[in-house]
Amino acid sequence: MNILITGGTGFIGGKLIQKLLENREHKVTLLTRYSTDEIKYTYLKNQDVEIRKVNIANQSEIKTVFMSSFDWVFHIAAIRGGGHGTKEDYIKSNVNYTKFLAEEILKQSGKFIFCSSVGVFGTIPQELPPTEQTERVGDNYYHLSKILAERELQKMVKNGLNLIIIRPTITYGIDDYGFPFSLIKMVDKGIFFRCRNTKIHLLDVNYLVKAFIKSATLNLKNGSAYNVVDKNPVEIYDLINFISQKLKGKNYSKLKTLPKVIFRIGEKFSKLLINEIWKTRFELISENWYYDSKIVEKELKITPKETIPNFEYVIDWYKGLKV
């Protein structure tokens, strides 16, 4: 297969490229920005991956890339999270760039696999677990851009675009320094303060990679969207205690629990500062957020793992960094 992938210099895209390269019949092309630091993809030059640099705002440059024919396009690149740019930045990168790519693969009748986010339902879904009928909530520029991108792509399905949408939740894995890593680090240092015992839903990046590949290889209903998550949500207290047991050999101190009102004050203060990053952090550890994985298991024919005990391999990696 001739495969084009964006976002291959990031955590998720990098893991996907590694898996794709295990099949030597695949020819992989990485599409990246001119501004991307070459150190992020130097290792790929030794693995027969073609590197193509483009200005994502320049549709004519993207057209030149599609002078080659592609069977699959995995579009993972995006400005992620909240607070990393203006609304215009998010629209240009996450909506317009997506449309440019989809328009070109539509001409070739290839398959377009779009990495969206469960964030289309908001940082904290208003309905648990959310379904395809659940109201979309653009509570930050990132989530709004994913909602708009999905809408544009679904319009193109009516014109023949072969589309599958993958919506991951927050991922964990080796080399990821996001929310799960921060959680481990705070527990290790004893500076994590919990609120009520909420349910959260994480995702092993290795399972996400399987979902991407299955979405490309299986004959699925065109335009389908899948919320990709671990087998079941995990209670925050259980996860914190699990991390503490693996690091310290004991449960985390119950004394480090704060009333919910403190988190509410923190959320309001972050709103006053217009700080989406801190607002999101407060919400993620004080509210429930989880999703139904049954459709993914049934249609993609892969079985996710339980966060506990699967999360142990990430804790082991963290421990190795400290040596």
Q: Which H, E and C letters describe 51-119, residue by residue?
A: EEEECCCCHHHHHHHCCCCCCEEEECCCCCCCCCCCHHHHHHHHHHHHHHHHHHHHHHCCEEEEECCHH
Residue 40, domain member (yes or no): yes
The one-character DSSP state at 196 is S
pTM of the model: 0.92
State the distance between the two ends of the chain, measured CA to CA, in whole angstroms: 41
Q: Tell me the DSSP string of 111-161.
A: EEEEE--GGGGTTTTSSSS--TTSPP---SHHHHHHHHHHHHHHHHHTTT-
Closest Cα to residue 190, out of 244, 142, 126? 244
Range of the domain at 31: 2-173+201-232+290-305
Total domains, the chain:
1
Residue 217, domain member (yes or no): yes
Residue 279, domain member (yes or no): no
Dig out the tokens for 253 from the structure: 């101190």
- Helices 141-157 + 97-108 axis angle, to 10: 20
Residue 186, domain member (yes or no): no
**Contact in structure between 243 and 318 (CB atoms under 8 Å):** no
d(CA 5, CA 222): 20
- For 174-231, how does the pLDDT look when each residue is reduced to its tens digit (9 = 90+)? 999 999 999 999 999 999 887 778 899 999 999 999 999 999 999 999 999 999 999 9
Residue 282, domain member (yes or no): no
Banded pLDDT at 278 (limits 50, 70, 90): low
Q: Is a pLDDT exceeding 80 seen at residue 288?
A: yes
Q: What is the CATH number of the domain that holds 106?
A: 3.40.50.720
What is the percent of the chain with per-residue pLDDT over 90, rounded to a whole number? 73
Residue 6, domain member (yes or no): yes
* Torsion angles phi and psi, residue 7, rounded to 5: 75, 15
Which stretch of 102-106, 131-135, 243-247, 282-286 has the lowest confidence by average pLDDT? Answer: 282-286
Residue 264, domain member (yes or no): no
Residue 266, domain member (yes or no): no
Neighbouring C-alpha atoms within 13 Å toward the C-beta of 11? 15
- For 110-123, how does the pLDDT look when each residue is reduced to its tens digit (9 = 90+)? 999 999 999 999 99
